[in-house]
A and B are shown apart, each in its own frame.
Chain A
Amino acid sequence: MIELEGVSVTYGAGPTLIRAARDVSFRIPAGDALGLVGESGSGKSTVLRAVAGLIPHAVGSVVINGRELPNRRPRESRKIIQMVFQDPYGSLHPNQTVDQTLSAPIAIHRLGNAESRIMAALTEVGLGREHRYRYPHQLSGGQRQRVAIARALILEPKVLLLDEPTSALDVSVQAEILNLLTRLRRDHGLTMLMVSHDLAVIAHICDRIGVMHSGRLLEMTTAEALAEGRVTDPYSQQLLRANQGFDASGVVIDVAA
């Protein structure tokens, strides 16, 4: 369903050149879920946005459902691939009600039946009539994220991209959203590409996991392999250890500017 080949993204030039992503390639069969883990600056979010078509100057090929998509996506292609962002407050317009947020994509693509589509989307993510006319600041973090998911699904995409969808949420809410995502993936046969810094969250949703560092895809592994510590790259091992809670003995405490 998704094929990336040699995707690279650079920003700036000369001394301020930043290679956000270097020659990243992978494939995701239809219906599968792939996770990208890494720390900040690893390039995982950049790759996600390149797949989403939000980076006009990305290099390399992105093929979705057999069609190679150019960097500047035609409007039609937007229906196939949608994204849920990290910050549930930042991804919703603060002055628009839930109703307005969900109506926008329907209006843009001139789909009919706005009323039934909106109610169906709300029900699907576990929200109700009473949430429909609220503003984002009147919703909890979990509810906002549900609205973001509803918005992504309202165009009935085949691919769902997820940028740290639960990082900004409380633990109890995170469980709800993860369950929701699992259910939606099953019900709609979605192909997912998820990005996170939290190994446990990624391993919960995704079958295969790619470890990224400094823009490069270091290794591709599975959730089981990661759990058993069967990772080859030393950086992956470091990441694994750091995810396991505080351990004073394992820390190199000195740092230079």
Chain B
Amino acid sequence: MSDDRLLTIRNLRVVYPGDDGDFRAVRNVSFSLGRERLGIVGESGSGKSTTGRAIMGLIPYPGRVEADVMRLGDIDLTRLDERGFRRLRGKRIAMVLQDPKYSLDPVMPVGKQIAETHRYHFGSSKQAARTAALEMLQAVHIRDPERVYHQYAHQVSGGMGQRIMIAMMLIAGPDILIADEPTSALDVSVQQQVLAVMDEMVKSRGMGLILISHNLHLVSSFCDRVLVMYAGQIVEVCDAGRLHEAQHPYTKGLLTALPELGHRRAVLPQLRRDPEWLVDLPAAVGAAS
């Protein structure tokens, strides 16, 4: 791992004010990302998606994002307004979401959307953008890019759609890719393919990848490092291969609660949620990474 950290975050907090009181979706989150594959694992409500969106500046009003440090290379993300974020998105950080059906424009051919992204970031000519788009389609291992270029979103399968999304998001050459449940809507065999494509792209371009997922198994087999989130905080940080040595009772509980093929237990040990886990942890957890 190289020493220059692509993304540094200290004490990130995201709060949503509401009728029933303020909801602290994310608190005390600190970590840094290098040229590696980092997984953020958690259940629903853990704050993992919110963290990803906070980095991209996508937290809608009235949510508030605050952090002691939130730095992308030399850019201070806490000081950016919407315009500032728009300059960053696609160019420095990109995000791939769960369902390509909702992320792709239904009335424009997919190839054209990729070309448009290129033109938006580089001001290129139509011809140059088209060439770049076709190259990207090839880079994500689509064998007949010419044909796929002219298809519409509803004509492509889920896996193909995700490849197209990856192509579109990476065409401007960002440093970081945040993937929020990118394979949850796909069949298992297609999941493998899409992850392999992402893996190759990230490695070949020396990017950092943040994979956000609820699937512990998947994240631990794909990523280099894993952050486990619970109730808005990071409760565990470890190398992916060492997940079975996890310290925090929540992580251990999750691992044993998973049914295992070949090891049938009459009753699955249920996770007992300790209210102690809700207490604010010092921001130091995760900061050491």
Where the two chains meet, the residues of A that have a C-beta atom closer than 8 Å to any C-beta of B are: 39-40, 141, 170-176, 178-179, 182, 197, 199-201, 203-204, 223-224, 226-228, 238-239, 242-243, 245-248, 250-257
In the complex, which residue of chain B has the Cβ closest to the Cβ of A238?
B189
Q: Which of B62-70, B120-128, B195-203 contacts A (4 or more CB under 8 A)?
A: B195-203
Contact B221 A245 (CB under 8 A): yes
CB distance from B275 to the nearest CB of A (A): 15
A27 to B142, CA, bound (A): 43
A164 to B197, CA, bound (A): 28
Contact B267 A182 (CB under 8 A): yes
Q: Which of B10-18, B99-107, B168-176, B257-265 contacts A (4 or more CB under 8 A)?
A: B257-265
Contact A255 B195 (CB under 8 A): no
- Chain A residues with CB under 8 Å of B200's CB are 253
Contact B257 A253 (CB under 8 A): no
CB distance from B20 to the nearest CB of A (A): 11
Question: Using an 8 Å CB-CB cutoff, how does the interface string of B239-274 with A read, 1 for contact, 0 for none?
Answer: 000000000000001100111111110111111010
- Chain B residues with CB under 8 Å of A172's CB are 43, 253-254, 257, 270-271, 273
A1 to B161, CA, bound (A): 43
In the complex, which residue of chain A has the Cβ closest to the Cβ of B192?
A251
Known: A242-B192, A247-B221. A253 touches B258 (CB 8 A): no
- Chain B residues with CB under 8 Å of A226's CB are 261
Of the A-B pairs whose beta carbons lie under 8 Å apart in the complex, a sample of 25, sorted by A's number, is A39-B188, A39-B189, A170-B43, A172-B257, A172-B270, A172-B273, A173-B43, A175-B258, A179-B268, A182-B267, A201-B259, A203-B259, A204-B268, A227-B261, A242-B188, A245-B217, A245-B222, A246-B218, A247-B221, A248-B196, A251-B192, A253-B141, A254-B142, A256-B143, A256-B144
A174 to B215, CA, bound (A): 12
- Chain A residues with CB under 8 Å of B43's CB are 170-173
B contacts with A, residue count (CB < 8 A): 48
Contact A176 B148 (CB under 8 A): no
A227 to B259, CA, bound (A): 12
Q: Does B163 contact A (CB under 8 A)?
A: yes
A174 to B257, CA, bound (A): 8
A253 to B204, CA, bound (A): 15
In the complex, which residue of chain B has the Cβ closest to the Cβ of A172?
B271
Interface residues of B in 177-229 (CB under 8 A from A): 187-189, 191-193, 195-197, 199-200, 214, 216-218, 220-222
Known: A203-B261, A245-B221, A257-B144. A250 touches B192 (CB 8 A): yes
The answer, among A171, A224, A243, A253, for a CB contact under 8 Å with B254, is A171
In the complex, which residue of chain B has the Cβ closest to the Cβ of A173?
B43
Contact B214 A170 (CB under 8 A): yes
Contact A200 B192 (CB under 8 A): no
Excluding A170-B43, A201-B259, A251-B192, 9 further A-B contacts by CB distance (< 8 Å) are: A170-B214, A172-B270, A224-B262, A243-B188, A247-B192, A247-B221, A255-B160, A256-B143, A256-B144
CB distance from A88 to the nearest CB of B (A): 12
Contact A257 B151 (CB under 8 A): yes
Contact A199 B261 (CB under 8 A): yes
- Chain B residues with CB under 8 Å of A256's CB are 142-144
Contact A245 B220 (CB under 8 A): yes
A248 to B223, CA, bound (A): 12
Contact A204 B264 (CB under 8 A): yes
- Chain B residues with CB under 8 Å of A141's CB are 44
- Chain B residues with CB under 8 Å of A245's CB are 217-218, 220-222
A243 to B142, CA, bound (A): 24
Contact B257 A223 (CB under 8 A): no
A137 to B23, CA, bound (A): 17
A238 to B193, CA, bound (A): 13
Contact A246 B195 (CB under 8 A): yes
